[in-house]
Amino acid sequence: MNVLTNALAIAASELRRNLGRALLTALGVLIGVGAVITMVGIGEGATASIEEDLSSIGRNMLILNPGTGRGQLRTQAPPFDLRDADAIAARVPYVELTAPTTTVPVLAAYGGEEVLTKVYGAPNAWFAIMDRDVAQGRLPTEAEQRSGAGVCVIGETVRQSLFGGENAVGARIRVADTSCQVIGVIAAKGANTMGIDEDDVMVAPLTTVQRRIVGSTDVTGIFLSVDAPEHIEEAKAQTLALMRERRHIGPRGSDDFSITDTREVATMVSGITSLLTAFLGAVAGVSLLVGGIGIMNIMLVSVTERTREIGIRMSVGALEGDVLTQFLVEAGLISTLGGIAGVATGLLGGFVGARALGVIFTVNAPVTLGAVAFSALVGVVFGFYPARRAAHMEPIDALRHH
Amino acid sequence: MIGREDDVVIRIRGLRRVYGRGDAEVRALDGVDLDIPRGIFLTLMGPSGSGKSTLLNAIGLLDVPTAGSLAIEGREMVGLSRRERALARRERLGFVFQGFNLLMRSTALQNVELPLVYRGVGRAERRRRSLEALAAVGLADRADHLPNELSGGQQQRVAIARAIVGEPEILLADEPTGNLDTVMSHEVMQLLRRLNSERGITVVMVSHEPEMTVYTDRIAHFRDGRLENIETVKEAA
């Protein structure tokens, strides 16, 4: 213990003497540890944000759309109709609610303001399936649904664009070539995992949209809720089979519609983020390795410079182990100090980065403590070779060194 | 004080130290036999390359002989592991070098304490014994000085204090006055002589200054890696 405390004292005085050099060396470790903690912090923050979205994404939900593929590659296919939704509700077990919808982009206007948004023609079941509700006003009544009344519920983004600080409920707005009365404002939800603003939306009775805006009885999407997560797979398979039958697709024919399990998509995105976190962490880990090599360099220089001192210490009774300990402690001290400073830097970087990216700021305690421990380890591992070189010197050679 | 001839503290037989190979081979020690009695003050003399320093380093377990036998207190030292040599060195031997070899960033006291640090002596005890050793070399009032604040003679006395603080049986001095002026040289030699006679420490010194040998008991003359003869120094007038 005596030798260890003594080695610590020697190391501390060596560091003070070569402060600039020690700081530069520690900087390598600082950057490495800081990078690891920042990257892991931001990555985990992003994952946590996604998982939070995931829990608010609505019930156990499936969405049917005609056509397959995405974006430009999406195939054209005949739309659904109301009877499809009824058939699913009647024949697929576990399905609780169905909401046949038709979605269309529209220009909405009020006073001098205009906004491009999209309107869902949907029954009130849509709100239950999507886990949404009105913050002000009300949903359409049964009678309004049946008659296709000119009423609509608007999202917060639309309300903000058209009304600003004014009261929206009760106002009459233009939507495409018709008009409707705002009867409610949907509680704000913000952007989802894909960055799409879920408040940039309007909802009107399905009949209203079909008759007044689209001019057909097409259904372009069917939203389903399933009673429990463990039944999603089963419900999905049965819905698929049912719809293939209804759309007369033979056993060899490929689907001309898609069923999206939103939770699956979110889980996939979350998985990608986790992978990215690990990847970034690994890249940052490489910089820690480079920092370690910096320590080895400095320690080798230090051993060469202090060869004579090592010889003196050996001649007055230092054993190999004493010399080894002295240099290992010195290397460990440099890297640990760098590591601690790196934690501070990394946490700060993670905080700032998370703010900038709009994700949750998380501190991963095991990673943080692990980074400090690892930095100490880096010092000891990379200090070992120089230290061993010092300890293995023949005292007489060390003493003759000038 | 001359030791009893039958109480040999260092027994050397057929000691050889060869550097290099083939044509480049140099026989620094070419078969040396020597018995060093306990408590003697022995000078090793000879021209440059005669093997005197090589022998001192071998006795100091700083260097490894090529062949032969070297026993200290009856224990064979040739063939010991590095660790065993280091342990024997710190147990029994003290060193004084021509270049002092003090740690320049440590105070006189810290330098003297160093051997005790590696022996695991506690802080208070270490300090007490080191101050005692500094007092023995007449430098009690210089304990907190750095080496470059001291004269050459004082630095060498600090080095001597460091060499004796662990109470070694044998003190090895490699041209201890080589870097000192005449006045300082005599001071250092008187100090070594006093430690030898008062404490009974066996002192083996390498020197090429004949006037310093008057403080010693015997002179072993070396030439070409061989011991030529041993001369007994006449009592100083």
Quick one: A150 exposed, middle or buried, by C-beta within 10 A (0-12, 13-18, 19+)? middle
Render pLDDT for A199-221 as a digit per residue (tens, 0 to 9).
Answer: 899 999 999 999 999 888 889 89
Identify the CA nearest to A154 among candidates A130, A131, A138, A177.
A138
Statement: residue A131 has pLDDT above 70: yes
Chain B closest-CA separation from residue A317 CA (Å):
4
pLDDT at B237: 41
Q: Which residues of B touch A399 (CB under 8 A)?
A: 62, 97, 101
Q: Is the model more confident about A16 or about A265?
A: A16
Contact A2 B97 (CB under 8 A): no
Q: Which residues of B touch A314 (CB under 8 A)?
A: 86
Three-class SS state of A220: coil
* Helix, strand, coil percentages for chain B (3-state, nearest 5): 40, 25, 35
Q: Which residues of A touch B89 (CB under 8 A)?
A: 315, 317
Q: Which amino acid is at A258?
A: S
Q: Please, are residues A354 and A360 in contact by the beta-carbon 8 Å criterion?
A: yes
Q: At what angle do helices B108-119 and B82-92 cross, to 10 degrees?
A: 120
Identify the CA nearest to B165 among candidates B216, B111, B205.
B111
ipTM: 0.89
Chain A, nearest residue to B100 by Cα: A312
Render pLDDT for A379-396 as a digit per residue (tens, 0 to 9).
Answer: 888 888 888 888 888 888
Q: Please, are residues B151 and B182 in contact by the beta-carbon 8 Å criterion?
A: no
Statement: residue A1 has pLDDT above 60: no
Best B114, B116, B117 residue to mutate vs chain A (most A CBs within 10 Å):
B117
Highest mean pLDDT among A70-79, A188-197, A234-243: A234-243
Half-sphere exposure of A339 (CA within 13 A, CB side): 25
**Residue with token string 């005669």:** B50
What are the pLDDT tens digits along chain B (237 aa)?
444 567 899 999 999 999 888 888 889 999 999 999 999 999 999 998 899 999 999 999 988 899 999 999 999 999 999 889 989 988 899 999 988 999 888 899 999 999 998 888 888 999 999 999 999 999 999 999 999 999 999 999 999 999 999 999 999 999 999 889 999 999 999 999 999 999 999 999 999 899 999 999 999 999 999 999 999 987 644
Q: What angle do CA A25, A28, A31 make, to 5 degrees?
A: 145
pLDDT at A21: 82
Contacts with B43 (C-beta within 8 Å, 6 or more apart), sequence order: B205, B206, B207, B212, B213, B216, B218, B219, B220, B233
Q: Which residues of A touch B65 (CB under 8 A)?
A: none
pLDDT at A3: 67
Statement: residue A144 has pLDDT above 80: yes
Chain A closest-CA separation from residue B176 CA (Å):
15
Chain B, nearest residue to A16 by Cα: B105
Nearest-by-Cβ selection for B57 from A316, A319, A396:
A396
Contact A319 B87 (CB under 8 A): yes
Identify the CA nearest to B50 among candidates B205, B210, B208.
B208
The bridge status of strand A221-226 relative to strand A178-186 is: unpaired
Nearest-by-Cβ selection for A317 from B62, B63, B166:
B166
Chain B closest-CA separation from residue A394 CA (Å):
7
Three-class SS state of A78: coil
Identify the CA nearest to A102 among candidates A84, A128, A75.
A84
Three-class SS state of A230: helix
List residues of B whose CB lies inside 8 A of any A CB: 57, 60, 62-64, 82-83, 86-87, 89-90, 95, 97, 101-103, 105, 114-115, 117-122, 162, 166
Q: Which residues of B touch A319 (CB under 8 A)?
A: 83, 86-87, 90, 118
Chain B closest-CA separation from residue A291 CA (Å):
29
Contact A3 B117 (CB under 8 A): yes
DSSP secondary structure letter of residue A141: P
Statement: residue A119 has pLDDT above 80: yes
Q: What percent of chain A has pLDDT over 70?
A: 95
pLDDT at A354: 85
Cα gap B193→B206, rounded to integer Å: 14
pLDDT category, A327, cuts 50, 70, 90? Answer: confident
Give backbone dihedrals phi and psi of A103, rounded to 5 degrees, phi first. -115, 140
Tokens of A184: 């409610």
Q: Which residues of A touch B129 (CB under 8 A)?
A: none
pLDDT at A55: 62
